[in-house]
Structure 1
Amino acid sequence: MHPNTHEIPFPNATMISVNGVDLEVFEAGQEHAGNPVVLCHGWPDLAYTWRYQIPALVAAGYHVIAPNQRGFGNSARPDDVVEYDIEHLTGDLAALLDHFGYERATFVGHDWGAFVVWSFTLLNPQRVDRVVAMSLAYLERGEIPWLDFMEAVLGSDYYFVHFNKQPGVADAVFDADPARFINNLYRRDEPLLPPKPGMALIQIAEDDAPPGEPLLTQQELAVYDAAFTRSGFTGGINWYRNLNRNWHRLADADPVIQQPALMIYGLRDAVARSESLSTFVPNVEELSLDSGHWVQQERHSETTGAILEWLAQHPSS
């Protein structure tokens, strides 16, 4: 069960104009100005994913800044797919720091948010104190662009590839019933099942009997349903449609991240672990929790505790 989950106060939204777009930002702990932590959600997710971590971070003395990134919630949803590339996504974060008057901050990211945080650190190393990543480890930039590699290894039905090869198809399935898709995707105690042929996320969206148990209460699901009913899923999916462009954009960056980093995995997460993480992130500590993909929600107490303990052990420089 989820005792008192919906009673945790979540900050009010503020619309902030940065980098040519309006972002919906949830801010807490302004009394701790000077000790910023920026929380970056993934897909299909929202800043609301951090509802357990925000009060604990504020209580520990941090100024928390959690945007709905472009494409999500009430934040801007540009029509041009290119406006969701890594330059725009990391540019939003840099402009957020400027807005609040910060040269540097600690960045926490989950899933796609972790990719944005890793990339932001590569492109703006002077602006990052520490990195906490969940689910998605640093993605090594190999010899061929990421989408081409994925198609060669995983096939055209792999969801990254499908999003690019068949634009609009998955979007329409998800948009048709956002609550059903989110409820089917956000599960706890899922068995790790072998993949079936076909496009996995469309299968999940249409599943009448998804495995595991719902992760979200009805009140929590209602937050996601309202947000994605309003925004649709295309803006977030456009992040995937820039993966090869991002591969090219990151070509000139020094690939090694020197900042202290904490990498949190869910043991039952379908996202693969990195076997070469310490090569590219030499100052990383790795932690695995008995969780599926949504580790900061499913194992929120352990995740929050691990983050706070690690931050305390690695003070800002």
Structure 2
Amino acid sequence: MTQAPAMPDPTFIETNGINMAVYEAGPKDGVPVVLCHGWPELAYSWRHQIPALAAAGFRVIAPDQRGYGLTGGPKGEENVPLYDIEHLTGDLAGMLDALGIDKAVFCGHDWGGIVVWQMALLQKERVAGVIGVNTPFIPRLTSDPIEAMRAVYGEKMYIVFFQRFGEAEKLLGKDTARSLRFFYRKSGVTAEEWEKMPAEEKNLSFLDALETPEEEWRGTPLLSDEEYAVYTKAFEQSGWEGGINWYRNFSRNWRLTEGVEQKVSAPGLMISAADDVVLPPAMAEGMEKYVPDLEKHIIPACGHWTQSEKPDELNTLMIDWLKRRFG
């Protein structure tokens, strides 16, 4: 297991109505690279990438995003719309303003990947390039995405279940350390094995599996005790509500982006993980239609948590592309 590097100390930046915790490293005159985490993650999820990118000469900026970590965010069902895509991309644009940066390369994993691809549509003048880690560019659907997921997977699919305010956060917060041990595991199934599984086992009802005894969970623990402790402390402090609110805005985001041209003009790098069953490499097929200047790679024998599971492979691909395109 790779030893986790120490994180830089955070600074706090007022942006778009929140006080955002931002972790920076590397030369101030380097090409800015903003690292955007997903769920249930933190800026800490980029701990292996931050020093490598900084050593390669890039100015690395990793925020705890709205609702997460030391940034936190507004609570209460009435504030769910404050986690929509306009707020999430506005937070990052305001962060650049506060740092005196015109444009940056945006890199995102999981939900952070959705945000960085949308940055290239909604804040395109701030985006020099985009790196998707596991998360491809997903063009706007022709129908409400939650209704589409409900139709395909049913009510137990985790994103559909997340729509019920208060329920998932209560379930996950009952034992935050256990919940995080459940999520942060190496993939216990290859893409080929997943394909052969019966449909009822592929409905992505992870929260059912969470209720099973720990010894029955798939895969092996991904993190060290010290790393699990960092995540546990952060989620016990912030709670789960803010991060889950991102999911509660899928339908709202779909309505807000009606009429937005689905074309990324900035250069893109897509790094998929071969055994990510939530965001499989097949989802990146055909991306070139929407991201004409695109390079694609697949990291073999890697599950969903690419930054932690295959940090050296990810760093090599990112730094190589960044140096060729922006060096």
Same fold (TM over 0.5): yes
Query: Aligned match of 1:179 in 177, 180, 186?
Result: 177
Is contact 2:72–2:238 with CA below 8 Å preserved after alignment?
Answer: no
Residue in structure 1 matched with residue 93 of structure 2 by the alignment: 94
Deviations 1:184-235 (A, max 9, x none): 1111252144353776221343232211111100000000000001111110
Query: Aligned match of 2:36 in 35, 40, 43?
Result: 40
CA-based RMSD: 1.5
Deviation at 1:181, TM superposition (A): 1.1
Residue in structure 2 matched with residue 49 of structure 1 by the alignment: 45
Is contact 1:104–1:127 with CA below 8 Å preserved after alignment?
Answer: yes
Residue in structure 1 matched with residue 272 of structure 2 by the alignment: 265
1:130 partner SS: strand
Alignment partner of 1:284 is 2:280: no
Residue in structure 2 matched with residue 248 of structure 1 by the alignment: 255
Alignment partner of 1:200 is 2:205: yes
Letter in 1 for 2:173: D
1:73 partner SS: coil
Residue in structure 2 matched with residue 141 of structure 1 by the alignment: 140
Is contact 1:182–1:221 with CA below 8 Å preserved after alignment?
Answer: yes
Residue in structure 1 matched with residue 105 of structure 2 by the alignment: 106
Q: Residues 198 and 145 from structure 1, CA distance in 2 versus in 1: closer, same or farther, beyond 3 angstroms?
A: closer
Deviation at 1:21, TM superposition (A): 0.7
Residue in structure 2 matched with residue 28 of structure 1 by the alignment: 25
CA distance in structure 2 between the partners assigned to 1:233 and 1:53 by the alignment: 25
1:314 partner SS: helix
If the length of structure 1 is used for normalisation, what is the TM-score?
0.94
Deviation at 1:71, TM superposition (A): 0.5
Letter in 2 for 1:21: I
Listed as ranges, the matches of 1:210-225 within 5 Å are 210-225=217-232
CA distance in structure 2 between the partners assigned to 1:139 and 1:197 by the alignment: 21
CA distance in structure 2 between the partners assigned to 1:285 and 1:248 by the alignment: 30
Letter in 1 for 2:16: N
CA distance in structure 2 between the partners assigned to 1:132 and 1:104 by the alignment: 14
Is contact 1:107–1:131 with CA below 8 Å preserved after alignment?
Answer: yes
Residue correspondences, number: 311
Alignment partner of 1:308 is 2:319: yes
Is contact 2:31–2:326 with CA below 8 Å preserved after alignment?
Answer: no
Structure 1 gaps of 5+ residues are: none
Deviation at 1:97, TM superposition (A): 0.5
Structure 2 gaps of 5+ residues are: none
* Range with bigger deviation, 31-40 or 256-265: 31-40
Query: Aligned match of 2:72 in 72, 76, 83?
Result: 76
Listed as ranges, the matches of 1:225-244 within 5 Å are 225-244=232-251
2:201 partner SS: coil
> Percent identity, aligned pairs only?
41
1:307 partner SS: helix
1:98 partner SS: helix
Is contact 1:38–1:66 with CA below 8 Å preserved after alignment?
Answer: yes
Residue in structure 2 matched with residue 153 of structure 1 by the alignment: 152
CA distance in structure 2 between the partners assigned to 1:233 and 1:214 by the alignment: 21
Is contact 1:134–1:265 with CA below 8 Å preserved after alignment?
Answer: yes
2:148 partner SS: helix
Letter in 2 for 1:187: R
1:27 partner SS: strand
Alignment partner of 1:19 is 2:24: no
CA distance in structure 2 between the partners assigned to 1:183 and 1:76 by the alignment: 22
